[in-house]
Amino acid sequence: MGQLSGKVAIVTGASQGLGRGISIAFGEAGASVVCAARNLDKLNETSSAVEEAGGRACAVECDVRELSDIETCVAKAVEAFGGIDIVVNNAQTIQYVYMNDATDQTMLDALHSGPLASYRFMKASFPHLKARGGGVIVNTGSPAQHLPVTARYACYNAAKCGIEGLTRAASDEWKGQGVYTFMVYPTAETAMTLGMKARDPERYAREVAHFPKGRMGDPLEDIGRPMVRLILRAPEFTGKTISMNSRGVGEITEVIADVPFDLS
């Protein structure tokens, strides 16, 4: 029996990179995985890999910027596997442009695919998580928020900061009902990092040199498999932000204050 046997997970952005690695890791752990993304051909490849790893899978074509696609994805998860236990909000459109070159649409794409999509998936999934006695939502952030130089990251980082705030609020509101929410900062070899390598190989080499193994994290080995272990201990990490890279699970960002402001 795998660690996630009997569990049903939705993973967005599952056609490649982090989403693919996470989906396969869940399959290894015995989960049924709803692989969601825009590229159905690649999704079918991920679904096959999940099944080869020992899980069950179905591919759902989904543009997370569209509410109807999100609602369809949640409905298909329930129809195919009987419920939902885990949601990983990983999909995010990315445009690296200077603020003066960005348009309102650039920012809207980042916000619609990031915090708005996460918010919608969380709300649509919540009744199903609760009906199963509780569940886990993992939102994907980015260490790019804390780079020494964040030029060209304005829209992307705005989206990721929004997701982080959403994650903490949801944890405070839902943990009493058994639904735990935490955020991860994964740094792995993905289309995004390969793009950086192509654009600026010298910078890429400098960045990679700082990692414990002298390389970016592997989506399956360093992100997906450790995420399974985090999910199994979700009550300990709810509301937290956790760094993940080629070292595996790293430091945890605690809440800013023990006592929140009275907003009543």
Nearest to 88 by CA among 111, 49, 117: 117
Instruction: Give the position of tokens 């195919």.
Output: 80
**N- to C-terminal Cα separation, the chain:** 47
Q: What is the 3-state secondary structure (H, E, C) of 177-243?
A: HCEEEEEEEECECCHHHHHHHHHCHHHHHHHHHCCCCCCCECHHHHHHHHHHHHHHCHHHHCCCEEE
In the beta sheet, which residues pair with residue 34? 10, 58
3-state secondary structure of 147: coil
Taking the C-alpha atoms of residue 235 and residue 144, their distance in angstroms, rounded to an integer, is 26
- The size of the chain, in residues, is 264
Phi-psi region of 103 (alpha: psi -120 to 50; beta: other; left: phi over 0): beta
Q: Which residues pair with 179 in a beta bridge?
A: 135
In the annotation, is 119 catalytic?
Answer: no
CA 64 to chain centroid: 12
Q: 37: which strand partners?
A: 61
Active-site option among 156, 180, 185, 204: 156
Among candidate residues 178, 210, 204, 180, the one with its CA nearest the CA of residue 192: 204
Place of tokens 């399959």: 27
- Active site residue ranges: 156
